[in-house]
């Protein structure tokens, strides 16, 4: 059931970048301007860790090379 809700649709490099960028944005909540907007950094961290982007799922996009081959 979770595979249909959260299908893997992110390339491994993209996943790593999402986590790094998300942590960078999230760090702004604790250092720097200390703005609550920095908690939006949780979105790329969570999608990077899950390997599934809800926007990609809605649009039918997949950057995951292994997952694209499985569908054929």
Q: Is residue 43 part of a domain?
A: yes
- Total domains in the chain come to 1
Q: What is the pLDDT of residues 21-70, one digit of tens each?
A: 999 999 999 998 999 999 999 999 999 999 999 999 999 999 998 875 66
Q: Is residue 3 part of a domain?
A: no
In angstroms, the Cα distances linking 71 to 5, 37, 51, 65 are 16, 38, 17, 10
Please, what is the Cα angle at 52 between 16 and 70, to 5 degrees? 100
Q: Is residue 2 part of a domain?
A: no
Q: Is residue 4 part of a domain?
A: no
Residues spanned by the domain of 57: 10-70
pTM of structure:
0.86
Please, what is the Cα angle at 53 between 30 and 72, to 5 degrees? 155
């Amino acid at each position: 059931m979770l595979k249909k809700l959260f299908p893997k649709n992110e390339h491994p490099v993209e996943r790593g970048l999402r986590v790094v960028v998300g942590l960078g944005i999230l760090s702004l909540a604790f250092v720097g301007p200390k703005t609550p907007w920095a908690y939006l950094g949780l979105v790329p961290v969570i999608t990077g860790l899950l390997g599934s982007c809800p926007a990609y799922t809605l649009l039918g996009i997949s950057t995951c090379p292994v997952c694209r081959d499985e569908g054929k």
